[in-house]
Amino acid sequence: LQVPNQPDIPYITGDGVGIDISPAMIKVVDTAVAKAYGSEKKIAWKELAAGEKAYAAQGDYLPQETVTALTENLVAIKGPLMTPIGEGFRSLNVTLRQQFDLFANVRPITYFKGVASPVKRPENVEMTIFRENTEDIYAGIEFESESPDAERLIKLLKTEFGIDNIRFEQTSAIGIKPVSPDGSKRLVRAAFDHAIAHGLNRVTLVHKGNIMKFTEGGFKKWGYEVADEYPTFTVNTFNKLKAESGLDAALAAKATALAAGKIYVDDAIADNFLQQILINPSAYQVVATLNLNGDYISDALAAQVGGIGISPGANINFLTGHAIFEATHGTAPDIAGLGLANPASLILSSVMMLEFMGWLEASNLVRDALAKTIAQGQTTRDLGGKLTTADFTAAIITNF
Ligand code: NAD
């Protein structure tokens, strides 16, 4: 990504705690950039209207100027947006992902020393989840059984496809799960590119291909096809060698491949994977998976390292370079505007953003200072501390 020294970066403050955490994030990033590059680099922040504030001012949750600005600028960052409740509203987050075809939801999971965790060794949890963001049952193609569309669909399934093992007359709704080779492959490629860029040697494809053979099973199949495009040693090669020449020979070949810098690729069935991340998390580094599995897995892993309050995320189209970095938590209406929210999730999302821009000195400064601050026991209330958003932000800046 070619980034000028004074890039325009659009940001959406966000609803609820957005007004607490977005200014905190901007302050931390600006201070880190000035510290890392002096006057050579500086971000020109451009606030964009979206969410409740935009609706109150303009009667539109996602005004056209916001979409235009996001189209013109590849990189943007956002606070949480409230999903309006009522007929016909789609989540603004989903709308943005679809509008810019942000096909990868990237969720790095890292433990910060000092954070309370429900597991014994949270420091063993260090992985990045690549969740497909545009397809799957999550695409929201659903029909209510009373609707004419559902009736047509059910009739088609019964008469044309001869499906007779479902009690359609009692089915209250029906959903469709689209999964494409291209959609799966571009996501898996992003996971491999990440592994290579970060010197990681294991990529795991997580799926439910045992039950959903063509959608989830397709994802697995296409994932292994992508593995062949990269310097990899797959579990399939391992098993073949084991059958032909024995376990020792297979283990030796795997060790040689890894020593030569190849990536070990395997797959796991999603339910088993959710057990494995509790039993043996250190085995996993990069995970590629479909939309719904990725949703569950990301939040389950975030809980292991201390909750979504400190978990960052990004929605990226690695082909166009379009990327929206975001806090992964919601608008936290219970503490909104009180100056108590933890800005760590959004600040860590800005770390991902700075890294994506290639501004590594600044991203390292922010990540290290945030880790140091938490390790010192200086935290907001959600992490058991007493600091306000402003005091926590000041403590991070002191630690630069
Ligand atoms: P939430 O994440 O807003 O809140 C859950 C709990 O976590 C609350 O007790 C809240 O106080 C706490 N919490 C969340 N973020 C925190 C922070 N930064 N610091 C300290 N505590 C924090 O989830 P919810 O209540 O289910 O959702 C509220 C609204 O947010 C809904 O409208 C939902 O649609 C929306 N939402 C938006 C996003 C997004 O924009 N990416 C994600 C999830 C939910």
- ipTM of predicted assembly, 2 dp: 0.97
Q: Kindly state if the Cβ of 306 falls inside 6 Å of ligand 1.
A: no
* Residues of the chain by 3-state class (helix, strand, coil), percent to 5: 50, 15, 35
Q: Which residues of the chain have pLDDT under 50?
A: none
Query: Pseudo-torsion of CA 218, 223, 225, 226, nearest 10°?
Result: 140
326 lines ligand 1 (CB under 6 A): yes
Which residue CA neighbors atom 13 of ligand 1 most closely?
Answer: 332
Instruction: Supply angle C-alpha 313, 314, 318, rounded to 5.
Output: 145
Matching residue, tokens 């991070």:
396
Q: Tell me what pLDDT residue 171 has.
A: 63
- H helical segments located in the chain: 18-37, 52-58, 64-72, 92-99, 148-159, 181-197, 216-227, 235-245, 247-259, 270-279, 291-304, 344-356, 360-375, 389-398
- pLDDT at 385 (0 to 100): 93
Flag whether the pTM goes above 0.80. Answer: yes
pLDDT number for residue 333 = 94
309 close to ligand 1 (CB < 6 Angstrom)? yes
**How far, in Å, CA of 169 to CA of 107, rounded?**
41
Q: Do 23 and 342 touch, CB atoms closer than 8 A?
A: no
Listed in sequence order, the residues at least 6 apart from 210 whose beta carbon sits closer than 8 Å to its beta carbon are 217, 269
CB 310 within 8 A of CB 373: no
Mutate to test the pocket of ligand 1, among 90, 311, 331 (most ligand atoms within 8 A of CB): 331
∠ CA 232-238-243, nearest 5°, is 155
First-to-last CA distance in the chain?
A: 26
Q: What's the confidence (pLDDT) of residue 142?
A: 87
CA of 25 to the centre of ligand 1 (A): 17
Q: Which residues are catalytic?
A: 138, 208, 271, 295
Q: Which atom of ligand 1 is nearest to the CA of 21?
A: 18
For ligand 1, atom 9, which residue shows the shortest CA distance?
A: 332
Distance CA 166, CA 153 (A): 13
Which residues are within 8 A (CB) of 216 and not within 5 positions of it... i.e. 6 or more apart?
Answer: 179, 207, 208, 209, 290
> Is the distance from the beta carbon of residue 387 to the nearest atom of ligand 1 less than 6 Å?
no
Round to whole Å and give the CA distance between 154 and 354: 49
Which tens digit of pLDDT belongs to each residue from 337-383? 999 999 999 999 999 999 999 999 999 999 999 999 999 999 999 99
Locate the ligand 1 atom nearest the alpha carbon of residue 327 and give its number: 41
**Cα(266)–Cα(260) distance, integer angstroms:** 18
pLDDT of residue 243: 97
> Packing angle between helix 92-99 and helix 64-72, nearest 10 degrees?
40
Q: How high is the pLDDT of residue 233?
A: 97
Cα–Cα distance for residue pair 324/29, rounded to 1 Å: 16
DSSP 24-51: HHHHHHHHHHHHHHTTS---EEEE---T
Closest-CA residue, ligand 1 atom 23, reads 330
d(CA 101, CA 95): 10
CA 283/CA 225 separation, integer angstroms: 23
